[in-house]
Amino acid sequence: MATTRTTMLQLGYLGLLPFMFSLLLIVTERTLFNLSGEQFFIAYSAVILSFLSGVLWGNAIDHFYHRLSVMPWCSVTYLYYSHGERYYKATNTM
């Protein structure tokens, strides 16, 4: 159990290295593969985001039988509050 926890901590800290490296590139104003520190940070963040999205998608496929999950309701609520009132005002202007 202790070795598993130690391994997880080591991998977690190793995951911070690219972000620290991008910070170092920003501070020193250098480039790597013709990418500035900001561009490197954004590119690496996009890779991590796509990986996490794939993991969540795979998890959603495994648990497909939960048809009424929280996400559809959150999406409907967001769309209603962000666009619904504007649509209602536009169609009922008398």
> How much is the pLDDT for 60?
75
Q: Which two tokens stand for residue 55?
A: 């993991």
Binned average pLDDT, 10 residues per bin, the chain of 94 residues: 86 92 93 90 89 82 62 65 58 57
Q: In this structure, are residues 20 and 12 in contact, taking their beta carbons and an 8 Å threshold?
A: no
* Burial degree of 22 (CB within 10 A; 0-12, 13-18, 19+): buried
Domain ranges of the chain: 2-91
Q: In this structure, are residues 9 and 34 in contact, taking their beta carbons and an 8 Å threshold?
A: no
Q: Which two tokens stand for residue 45?
A: 């963040």
> How much is the pLDDT for 71?
62
> How much is the pLDDT for 9?
92
Find the helix packing angle between 2-28 and 37-62, rounded to 10°.
150
pTM passes above 0.75: no
